[in-house]
Amino acid sequence: MRGSFMPETPSPAVTEVRFEHSRDFPDILAQLGVSLLVSTYQAGKVLVIGADPSTPTPRAAAEGRVSPLDITFHNFEQPMGMAVNARSLAIGTRRMVWFLAAAQLGRSASEGGTGPLHAARAKGTEGAFLARNASFTGSIHCHDLAWCGDELWVVNTLFSCLCTLHAEFNFVPRWRPPFITALAAEDRCHLNGLASDGQKPRYATVMACTDTAAGWRADKVKTGCILEVPSGEIVARNLAMPHSPRLFQDRLWVLDSGRGHLSVVEPGKEAVTPVAFVPGYTRGLAFHGPYAFVGLSRIRESNVFGGLPIAEKRDQLICGVGVIEWRTGRTVATFMLKSGVEEIFDVQVAPLRRLTLSGPHPDVDGSPAIWVVPPTN
């Protein structure tokens, strides 16, 4: 399927973003009852992708079902890592972390309920994330975010540490790899990924175990590692620019990005087994049911990506999201951004078929006006 949209941006320039998707992609989202959140720092957008019941896809029509695709786009300054729980969506950006509160679209406050006003319920929206506040971190090259209980942990790539947030500080350092000898704004190992078990940080990815300013850049093809937190023990090595470690079904998963692999890890054996190859630089990973949703990027012509195995297939790479059956490694559906966006950073799943997002620039995004106030008497 093909389509396009013309996003408004805070700058005068407007770029057309064209997309295509496989026939099964909307059906999978509809069957799971979920929406995808996709961040692209390169384009300065967070995309919300869900199933829209207004017009059937060919397969849905043939089977008497209705599940086309609905996409909205939201402006953030260089959005990267995202973290979702039942109450909040956190989005890491260039200088701050935004917090968007979950809201149920039931009765509005004017009707004696606690729901939002002007919530566009007629479009079948099931829930919303509404911008509430932001924590100013400064430019710390924020990468992955993860909820650990009620506390948000942030991958602080510039200072080579994991940190949390505090109203009185830019950030609070909580952990750094044992080979990092000082807290310095030098991106020494390109710490980028974080896996949480829901209560505490468990694993982190680095591009190299180096302790000098930008030392990881010297040899990126096979120096990537996964570290256990808090011990710092190396549980996997010889990865090519790894990203997005995740714990799912009692297994540790990782994207071996420079090889285009979704892989599973056996920490006690330092064994990394590829489960699937996809045609993109893999970055951004989320699981739901039988599927893994993997972010795919085309790689830039730069020394950052030079020499990577995936660079040999440069002309075949796509930007978008691949849907993989994690048990078999089979790619069952794809969503492809054909123009306007080249790189994806993160992918998250929200358990809502139709999701409204109201970010810090709803007037520019074209989002509906939404206010939440206490119930009226």
Total Cβ atoms within 10 A of residue 271:
12
> Which residue(s) pair with 91 in the sheet?
82, 98
Identify the sign of the CA torsion 298, 260, 200, 37: positive
Task: Check whether 307 has a pLDDT greater than 90.
Answer: no
In a domain, 373, yes or no: no
Q: What is the mean pLDDT of residues 254-275?
A: 95
In a domain, 203, yes or no: yes
Distances (CA, A) of 355 to 33, 37, 71, 78, 127: 11, 10, 10, 22, 5
In a domain, 140, yes or no: yes
Q: What angle do CA 317, 92, 274 make, to 5 degrees?
A: 40
* Percent of the chain predicted with pLDDT > 70: 85
Given this model, what pLDDT does residue 15 score?
Answer: 67
Instruction: Give residue for tokens 């009185």.
Output: 168
In a domain, 115, yes or no: yes
Task: Check whether 258 has a pLDDT greater than 80.
Answer: yes
Residue type (1 letter), 322: G
Given this model, what pLDDT does residue 124 score?
Answer: 62
Going by DSSP bridges, is the β-strand pair 96-104/88-92 parallel, antiparallel, or unpaired? antiparallel
Q: What is the band of 367 on the pLDDT scale with cuts at 50, 70, 90?
A: confident
In a domain, 124, yes or no: yes
Given this model, what pLDDT does residue 375 score?
Answer: 74
Residue type (1 letter), 375: P
Number of domains, the chain: 1
Round to the nearest angstrom and report the end-to-end CA distance of the chain. 49
**Two tokens at 331?**
């790619």
Q: What is the mean pLDDT of residues 292-311?
A: 83
* Phi-psi category of residue 327: left, alpha or beta, with phi > 0 → left and psi -120 to 50 → alpha: alpha
Given this model, what pLDDT does residue 260 score?
Answer: 96
Task: Check whether 171 has a pLDDT greater than 90.
Answer: yes
Distances (CA, A) of 94 to 248, 261, 349: 29, 28, 22
| Residue predicted with more confidence, 311 or 28 | 28
Domain hosting residue 39, numbered range: 2-365
Asked if 119 and 133 touch (Cβ cutoff 8 Å), the reply is no
Asked if 209 and 225 touch (Cβ cutoff 8 Å), the reply is yes
| Residue 50's CATH number | 2.120.10.30
Beta-carbon-side half-sphere exposure of residue 34 (alpha carbons within 13 Å) = 19
In a domain, 370, yes or no: no
pLDDT digits (tens, 9 = 90+) for 92-148: 999 999 999 998 765 554 444 455 555 544 356 678 999 999 999 999 999 999 999
- Pairwise CA distance, residues 258 & 244, whole Å: 13
Look up the pTM and report it: 0.90
Residue 303 backbone dihedrals phi, psi, to 5 degrees: -70, -15
Task: Check whether 239 has a pLDDT greater than 80.
Answer: yes
| Residue predicted with more confidence, 69 or 211 | 211
| Residue predicted with more confidence, 141 or 315 | 141
- Pairwise CA distance, residues 203 & 295, whole Å: 20
Where are the alpha helices (H) located in the chain, listed in sequence order? 24-32, 58-62, 362-365
Total Cβ atoms within 10 A of residue 309:
14
Task: Check whether 301 has a pLDDT greater than 70.
Answer: no
In a domain, 374, yes or no: no
> Which residue(s) pair with 339 in the sheet?
18
| Residue predicted with more confidence, 54 or 260 | 260
In a domain, 110, yes or no: yes
